[in-house]
Structure 1
Amino acid sequence: MVPEEKSSSAFLLLLALSIHSTIEGFAIGVESSARSVLFMLLAVSMHKFVMAFCLGMEMSLPENPLTLRRAAAFLGVFSLTSVLGVFGGILLRMDEQVWGELVCSVLQALAAGALLHVALLEILPRERSRCHQIGLSQFSSVSSGFGLSLLLQYFSD
């Protein structure tokens, strides 16, 4: 197997996280008050730090051999995606038409779908294949995480 084929897992993760990150940037760009922009910036920055760590760990795995140049390019692309999203959100916010809300809703759905894809189809199967004995613990952790996210979303609105 050539290195390009082996690094496809890291590339798919980069693609999914970049889409997710761009849409998170949109969430910052469409905010209307300085306070909400700072709050979203802090939340997205903390989230992006964790995503960058996961991407770095994925790129360092033996089954994903990446050259230093390619790894730096991956991280460079990933770091710019939020900025592009912020600019897109600002442009979307400038347009006061009703379709802007529809676009924001679709983008949020895409961000959630990208996150679910990475979690359920990339990360969890690999972790389950490594540790078979703690299945209930893994299920409880994932369920708690999604449940907490749902509660936070419910009470934040």
Structure 2
Amino acid sequence: MIIGTIIVKSVAMLVMFLIIIITGSVPLRVKKFRENKKILSIFSAFSGGLFISIGLIHILPEAGEDFDKYYNSVEHFPFQMLIAVISFSLVLFIEKVIGEYLTHHHHHHHYSNDLESQQQDQQINENYLPSFEIEDTIESKQSQIKQVFEEIDISLSKQDDNNKINILTPFVLQIALGIHATLEGLAIGVEQDFSKCLTIALAVLVHKWAEGLVLGLALKQSKMNLTRATVMVVIQAIMNPMGICIGWALSDTGYLVNGILMSISAGTFIYISTQEVIAQEFSKNRYQIIKFLFFLVGVGFISSLYFIEQATSSSS
């Protein structure tokens, strides 16, 4: 099955690269880009079931087996669990602590500057208002006051636009997605069993369209120029193949390294499924029943592969 795993890893690198290039470029280059929210939600819920099952049913137990082989089946601390939790925590820290801090700081900076400018403009206008002659009619004064408030409204609308267009967001998003993609590729590259390698690769491929689409939409909303946005999409497309190559190179280094790498991958898969897919998708109050059904289909699909692997290995 060595040739089979080589084929799976090679094809996975090429297909993942192309998926990110295509899905990441669609929001940037198609002017009338429309998304079918129902289909996207269903696929997202389905991929959530795939990812959490891959992490808990396939990768984590295999990491435990590698540690057992390294310690010659002697009772030992469940290192695979600890490393998975550390991996989960690291991605959580990068995305929710560092990422949120940088994004909030950027928004706050824009808000403070715009608010100060707004207050200064309002103060200037207020200073000018009393300078009108007393003989002016009430209608004239009301017209001037109305103009002041219209200028304030324009300032507020500009402030909202600046808050929406956060230049920093796509960079933070790409760092997070790049780490995920590399670790996902790592799980494929380090796997030496053909059926498990194929299962993980298929699960990641099902999720890749969403990764490229999210990055492309973020780049489009940030008003980044097309050339720079295209470069960022290409960089993201390289991350999965790079992770596969790293895992592939380290796949023959022994049970300990394999166990550590698989544990890291398991923690990442569990984080993606729980924090980025399941939590976010089911927080949207739409298509809940059908999404839950497809989530269960994803869990059932990965679970059934375990029994197929067992039947195949026993018959051979």
TM-score of the superposed pair, with normalisation by structure 1: 0.69
Alignment counterpart, residue 134 of structure 1, candidates 279, 284, 287: 287
TM superposition shift of 1:51: 4.1
Highest CA radius of gyration, 1 or 2? 2
Query: Residue 112 of structure 1 aligns to a residue in which SS?
Result: helix
TM superposition shift of 1:152: 1.4
Query: Residue 251 of structure 2 aligns to a residue in which SS?
Result: helix
Gaps of 5+ in 2: 1-106, 108-165, 311-316
Q: What is the match of residue 16 of structure 1?
A: 180
Match status 1:120 vs 2:274: yes
TM superposition shift of 1:9: 3.2
Match status 1:60 vs 2:216: yes
Q: 2:206, 2:293 → 1: CA distance?
A: 21
8 Å contact from structure 1 (residues 22, 83) kept in 2: yes
Q: Show the 5 A alignment for 1:7-156.
A: 7-27=171-191, 30-31=192-193, 36=194, 46-62=202-218, 65=222, 67-90=229-252, 92=253, 100-130=254-284, 132-156=285-309
Deviation track 1:32-88 (CA, whole Å, cap 9, x = no partner) reads xxxx4xx66655654554344332112112476462212211212332211121111
More relative contact order, 1 or 2 (CA 8 Å, 6+ apart)? 2
Q: 1:8, 1:115 → 2: CA distance?
A: 19
Gaps of 5+ in 1: 93-99
Query: Residue 3 of structure 1 aligns to a residue in which SS?
Result: coil
TM superposition shift of 1:122: 1.0
CA change 1:140–1:43 in 2 (3 A) is: closer
8 Å contact from structure 2 (residues 188, 197) kept in 1: no
Deviation track 1:102-146 (CA, whole Å, cap 9, x = no partner) reads 44334333323212211221123333344x132122222212212
Aligned residues: 140
Q: 2:233, 2:184 → 1: CA distance?
A: 19
Q: 1:111, 1:80 → 2: CA distance?
A: 14
